[in-house]
Structure 1
Amino acid sequence: MQKAAALAAEQAAAIEAGRLLFAAECQFFFATQQLDQLPPPGGPEVAFAGRSNVGKSSLINALTGRKALARASSQPGRTRQLNFFDLGGRLVLVDMPGYGYAQAAKDVKEDWQGLMFEYLRGRPTLRRVVLLLDARIEIKPSDLAVMDLLDRAAVTYQLVLTKADSVKPAALGAKRAEVAALARKHPAAYMDMITTSSETGLGIAELRAALAALAEPA
């Protein structure tokens, strides 16, 4: 009983730390398409990656409680830059371009082997990549290619399922099991997978808590 109570208290404290962090002001401050024009390394960074239309912008907006902080392109697959957002001076959120819209494996090779791979491999302040997977559809070759790329870059990444509100419980359970098994095959994958919905708020508090643990102390 004491262990359970201590664990519950620890989880509650982590959730509150996440709430406080993401209640802070979040502002866009930099964008670049070139490696030699990255902002100087500062505070810890968390990068968000995923296929085009995976719900990346919606998730960032849900985390920060803002409707249009991150904007989805009107033409999926067109965004080709890194966008940097300062969260309360304690954490930098990096919105990476979507991949896999037109020709899955080819898109990953062309768009991610250059600027994206060099950013991931060489950024000393990058603490984690949040790699989004759509709970409604099968894992795509482009997702597997990016996971392999992150393994090669030796960057810790956390798998996050999106759009879970559109999936029935049995199918969602099967998807979670599939993704958990996939994570176990990848050395850089963080084992704590989180299931989210930007529409209902599912998993948002838990993801905030996970990211707050990477931020500068308050």
Structure 2
Amino acid sequence: MGDHAPGGGRVLSDTAALGPDDEKEKADLLEVGRLLFARECTFMRGAVALSGLPDATQPEVAFAGRSNVGKSSLINALTGRKGLARASNTPGRTQELNFFDLGGRLVLVDMPGYGFASAPKGMVEKWTRLVNGFLKGRPVLRRAIVLVDARHGLKDSDRDMMTMLDKAAVVYQLVLTKADKIKPAELDEVRDRTLAEIAKRVAAHPTLIATSSETGLGIAELRAELASLA
């Protein structure tokens, strides 16, 4: 019913037909994800330079996406805590890596948003050095979650991020955000286009999840995916 995650764990897929045994396995995986994200999630620290990173002692999952893609809202929805990750209305304002400890089992890393056209060149260069250095030198980083606005699909800045992840040999998974803002047929079209594109990428995880922080669509499935990495 699902794909095998790198390392042998089972992950959910919404594209395959489910038999009775698969339905039970899916329910079990969803429950594991629910229990993990029911744990206390606390802010650890923010790092503006590689020297400020916390000790690499727990598995980590990093969240990347264009500015205003809904990254903070998704992290808050996953953890069930509205004020955990702070959203900014100013693109490019948050230029640090923020680390959150999920019950001593998994660390969530909120990466700086990208794709802000009006940012000064120096800020973009600083962002690139920080993010690239983190991705290449973090042995506990199990996966990067690349968020894509379902209303717009992949943009060149998303492709640049994917190329950076490919070169860093970091497995990444695409997640569509704001899926409630478009019609089901349009969502299917965006999903198909995105899946076709990531099939050509060397480090891309094959499973795509459509989410909505407002309606809860896909949140349980994403929790289960991430629980397989803890």
Q: What is the rounded CA distance, in whole Å, between the counterparts of 1:123 and 1:159 in structure 2?
A: 20
1:113 and 1:98 mapped to 2: Cα distance?
Answer: 11
Give the 3 Å change call, closer, same or farther, for CA 172–33 of structure 1 in structure 2. same
Q: What is the TM-score when the length of structure 2 is the normalising length?
A: 0.88
Q: Could you tell me how far 1:30 is from its partner in structure 2? A: 1.0
Could you say what secondary structure the match of 1:31 adopts?
Answer: strand
Residue matched to 2:82: 67
How much does 1:113 deviate?
Answer: 2.8
Query: How far 1:74 sits from its partner (Å)?
Result: 3.5
Partner in structure 2 of residue 193 of structure 1:
208
- Cα shift readout 1:47-69 (whole Å, capped 9, x = no counterpart): 00000010000000000001110
Number of aligned residue pairs: give it: 212
Deviation (angstroms), 1:103:
5.2
> Is 1:164 equivalent to 2:193 in the alignment?
no
- Paired residue for 2:9? none
CA RMSD of aligned residues (A): 1.6
C-alpha contact 1:26 1:88 (8 A) present in aligned 2: yes
Matching residue of 2:135: 120
Check 1:40–1:10 CA distance in 2 against 1; reply closer, same or farther (3 A cut): same
Distance 1:205 1:85 in 2: 19
Checking the alignment, whether the CA contact within 8 Å between 2:95 and 2:127 is kept in structure 1 is: no
CA shift digits 1:180-200 (9 cap, x unpaired): 011101110000110000010
Decide which moves more: 108-117 or 172-181.
108-117
> Within the alignment, does 1:90 sit opposite 2:105 as a pair?
yes
Aligned twin of 1:139: 154
SS in structure 2 of the partner of residue 6 of structure 1: helix
Normalized per residue, which structure has more helix?
Answer: 1
Counterpart residue number, 1:30 = 45
| TM-score, length basis structure 1 | 0.93
Partner of 2:95: 80
Q: Quickly say closer, same or farther: Cα 1:111–1:49, change in 2 above 3 A.
A: farther
Structure 1, 135-144 or 145-154: larger mean CA deviation: 135-144
What is the CA–CA distance in structure 2 between the aligned matches of 1:11 and 1:56, rounded to whole Å? 26
Query: Which of 172, 188, 201 is equivalent to 1:173?
Result: 188
- Residue from 169, 182, 190 that aligns with 1:154: 169
Preserved contact between residue 170 and residue 203 of structure 2 (Cα < 8 Å):
yes
**Structure 1: runs of 5 or more not aligned:** none
* Identity over aligned pairs, percent: 61
